[in-house]
Amino acid sequence: MQISLKETAAALKSVQRIVITAHVNPDGDAIGSSLGLAHALKALGKEVQVSIDDDIPAAFSVLPGYELIGKPAAGQNIQTDLLVALDVSLDRIGQVAEVVSAPTLNIDHHITNDGQADKLYLDGTAAATAEIIYQLIVELGVTCDKDMAMCLYTGLAMDTGWFRFSNTTPNTLHTAAELLACGAVPNLISEALEQRPFSEVQSLAAAMQKIELLADGKVAGVCLDYASLQEHEAPEGLIGMVRVIEGVDIAFTLKEKEPNLCRVSLRSKGIDVTRIALQFGGGGHVRAAGCSIEKSCAEARTDLIRAIMQVLEEER
Ligand SMILES: [Mn+2]
């Protein structure tokens, strides 16, 4: 059931124990929104746990509360009054779905949200879930402090490509300004999140050698199979390097994270790439989407390219 922001605030106020989660393969918005909301609910005297079924990259230790994020263990049974899922539909929260049995409240900005949660607050115009969480904090009557601001600013900055992408609105920048006024330190966040181990820069260089151009240069992508990912870890930011290639409309990366399990990221300069991601059970936004394909790297590549070509053909 879709609810309003006011009803979302009321749902949070009406319970005492809250577990916050976000999607697997968490990004800055998933982590920043989760911690930002956790700080706000703690300020209201709530008992809050943050549980995300994945490893949290160490770079995010710049965020206050990083050490509080737990990972659910199989067979665990977390008792709580409400499960709050951020930046995701309930189908991508991994084992959290099994270890927590409680009513669900979902807060998201993805237009592809499946609406399966008991209560859903969805704002597809928000650049980031963090933008919604800031409004929610105001609605809750909580004073935004530095810890909340650091976390939410990170979510907002990272989902907008540091305020460069088309989802950046006047409200996004107003929110960012409010967060700076509340104590967020933008250079601390960007320096922490931009730094890379030397080995990762080398991995990025190796992966960039494998970028292929397709469809007369309208499509570019890179596929990393399981063996090559054992040799060099998948570098962060690879899709961004593919995206900037002149003439490219659709950029993709395909990473075989486990044998026969490929994670796909898609970016576009206009074409709706959710049309491709949805074909494989994924989702996202018009210009940034993703999905998983349970096949080998080579087979998944064939299926993905076929789907991309079909969408390009329909656009013509
Ligand atoms: Mn997001």
Question: In terms of C-beta density within 10 A (0-12 exposed, 13-18 middle, 19 or more buried), how is residue 46 classed?
Answer: middle
Distance of CA 216 from the midpoint of ligand 1 (Å): 32
Distance of CA 30 from the midpoint of ligand 1 (Å): 6
Q: Any idea which residue has 């995206």 for tokens? A: 243
Instruction: Round to whole Å and give the CA distance between 167 and 285.
Output: 10
Output the CA torsion 233→29→182→15 (10° steps).
-130
| Residue 234, domain CATH | 3.10.310.30
Domain boundary among 140, 163, 194: 194
pLDDT along the chain (316 residues), means of 10: 98 98 96 98 98 95 97 92 97 95 97 96 98 98 98 97 94 98 98 90 93 97 96 86 96 97 95 97 93 98 98 91
* Residue 208, pLDDT score: 95
Domain boundary among 165, 194, 223: 194
| Residue 51, domain CATH | 3.90.1640.10
Distance of CA 231 from the midpoint of ligand 1 (Å): 30
Domains identified in the chain, total number: 2
* Residue 316, pLDDT score: 80
106-123 residues labelled b (16+ CB within 10 A) or e (exposed): bbbbbeebeeebebbbbe
Distance of CA 109 from the midpoint of ligand 1 (Å): 7
Residues 187 and 258 in one domain: no
Residues 47 and 63 in one domain: yes
Tokens of 273: 């790439």
Residue type at position 259: P
* Ion ligand 1 residue ranges (Cβ < 5 Å): 29, 87, 128-129, 159
Question: Which domain does 56 fall in, by range?
Answer: 5-194
Domain boundary among 134, 164, 194: 194
* Residue 197, pLDDT score: 86
